[in-house]
Amino acid sequence: MELEMLQHLGAGFEAAFTLTNMLFICGGVTLGIIFGVTPGMGSVTALAILVPITFYMSPLAAIAFLVGINKGGTSGGAIPAILINTPGTPEAAATALDGYPLTQQGKPLKAMKTALYSSVCGDTFSDCMLILLAAPFAAVALTFGPPEFTSIIIFSFTLIAALAGKSLIKGIMAAVVGVFLSSWGLDPVDGSARLTFDMVELFDGVPLTPMAIGTLALSSVIAQIFALKKSGEGAKVDTSLDKSDSFREDNKLPPREFWGNWKTLLRSACIGTGVGMLPGLGVSLAAFLGYGAAKRGSKTPELFGTGTIEGIQATEASNSAVVGSNLIPTIALGIPGNVAAALLIGAFMIHGVVPGPLMMIEHGALVYSIFASMLMANLVHLVIGRIGITIWVKFVQIPKKIILPVVTVFCFLGVYIPSNSMFDVALLLIFGAIGYVMRKSGFSIVCLVIGFLLGPMLEMALRQTMLMHKTDLTILVTRPISLVFLLLTAFFIWHFGFRGRIGKKEPAKEAEQAGD
């Protein structure tokens, strides 16, 4: 089994180690870091607007490119958090706690290096877990039928609604609206038209691309434009780096100091990987859980928040470890772990690859090439991230009045080019407005998008169950795996709905922004 896996991985490296593929990985990681560093952007925005570009790539190059973006974006957010105390991405919020004090002490480079190395460590650990676990998980999932999928999807809904937003009720409402939007179009069983208003454009339902770009990217731009109008650009930040010898000495990161905290790195990588495997739990939650656990486990917890590199390691290893492991449910079950994975599922489908238990069998060679590309991307990430460290700093200084119009243009291009349709552009505008209202009123956009993606899966699984078992729904409780997930669902609803929620303070405000 292990040997076979290594052979597959070897073949994967062979397929992935081409110049084109390397260029796409490098491009992806670089773009990801830039988006992560740029204020108000982040990897989800980058993925949403760049997925349409991958229409024109080979499946391997497309996924390698997108995974590169996700990796770069997750670590890039740490840079503005460290330099100007403004996290580029919500998952880097905890990085600012110790990163910014280090900058104030004149050690910004040291903090940035720590963040980068920790990210790559967490990421690599998580990718290894993905490679080890994806095949056995998929083998188990292959025995699942519609009843099991029905229960698992119901369970995923509960987790997402409970954890992705500020309130369970608002989360459920957003998810329900997402499911409702996904029900438009031709009925999958008998082909009758549902809410299509006699428009052929709506036969396949609301298209994902304008929906995702509108709610996730465009609405964020709109929100920032209004904020900009209210408060102005703010003072120009000075992020120029000192060149003196003492500065250089202060910013050295001796390997012994970095690896001295290997326990923290490992702990955070495990937390991030675990969070990534469960659907709906955000990257930001992983970051705060990792930081919290490191503080509790430390011999010197009083140093946390004053500029200890252990705090940065704890956060960055944890949030980057989500990136690999959230592909486990994606590949094994076809259920996205979070919004980034949901967008990746969209990209897979474009290339005729249906994520789910059969993917390992049907497209095994492609999957292992993707795994190989992910490991290669980690190395690329380390090299590019380190070489470019003085360049990324410059992106922190770009004023929003320049960034926002550029991103707006990309939103429109991403929707129009693959569809050639002004109808889709109109949808983009509508969803941009809906997303803005949701942001302002505290409804989780993440819940909306995931509800939109899971809705059709739930409908199909439930209707298949009913047809196969002649409308006898007791099958949902007589099949053991199905029963386990239904009981878990009941437990979580009781736990979150009636007993208050775990980790209420920190993860709540973060995850709300996870769509940014």
Partner 1 sequence: MRTHRLLAAAGAIALVGSVVSGAIAADYPSKPITMIVPWKPGGTTETMGQVLSKALTKNLGVKVLVKTRPGGGGAVGSTVLANSKPDGYTIEFVGISTLTWIPMTQKAVKYKTSDFTFVAGVSQYQMSLVGTPGKPYSTFKELIAHSKANPGINVADMGGMSKAFVNFIAKQEKVDWTAIPTRGGGEMVPFLLGGKVDFAFSGGVHQKYGEKMIVLASFLSNRLPLAPNAPSTQEMYGVAMPGDNGIVAPKGLPADIRAKLEAAVKVSIDDPDFTKILERIKFPKRFLSSKEFDQVVADTLVSLNKVAKATGYIK
Residues near partner 1, by CB under 8 A: 55-56, 142-143, 145-146, 186, 188-191, 193, 196, 198-204, 207, 350-352, 354, 356-358, 362, 418-421, 460, 463-464, 467-468, 470
CB of 435 to partner 1, least distance (A): 23
Residue with Cβ nearer partner 1 (188 or 503) = 188
Residue with Cβ nearer partner 1 (463 or 509) = 463
Report the distance separating Cα 452 and Cα 409, nearest Å.
25
Q: Would you say 404 and 97 are in contact if contact means Cβ atoms under 8 Å apart?
A: no
Residues 479-509 as b/e (b if ≥16 CB within 10 A, e otherwise) read bebbeebbebbeebeeebeeeebeeeebbbe
Residue with Cβ nearer partner 1 (59 or 337) = 59
Report the distance separating Cα 258 and Cα 490, nearest Å.
44
CB of 335 to partner 1, least distance (A): 14
Residue with Cβ nearer partner 1 (143 or 441) = 143
Residue with Cβ nearer partner 1 (408 or 464) = 464
CB of 360 to partner 1, least distance (A): 11
Residue with Cβ nearer partner 1 (42 or 329) = 329
The separation between CA 377 and the C-alpha centre of its own chain, rounded to angstroms, equals 16
| Residue-by-residue DSSP string for 19-84 | HHHHHHHHHHHHHHHHHHHSTT--HHHHHHHHGGGGGGS-HHHHHHHHHHHHHHHHHHTHHHHHHH
DSSP tag of 90: G
Q: Would you say 275 and 510 are in contact if contact means Cβ atoms under 8 Å apart?
A: no
CB of 351 to partner 1, least distance (A): 5
| Residue-by-residue DSSP string for 272-293 | HHHHHHSTT--HHHHHHHHHHH
Nearest to 79 by CA among 323, 391, 292: 391
Residue with Cβ nearer partner 1 (40 or 336) = 336
Q: Would you say 455 and 178 are in contact if contact means Cβ atoms under 8 Å apart?
A: yes
CB of 356 to partner 1, least distance (A): 7
CB of 59 to partner 1, least distance (A): 8
CB of 206 to partner 1, least distance (A): 11
- Number of residues assigned to the chain: 516
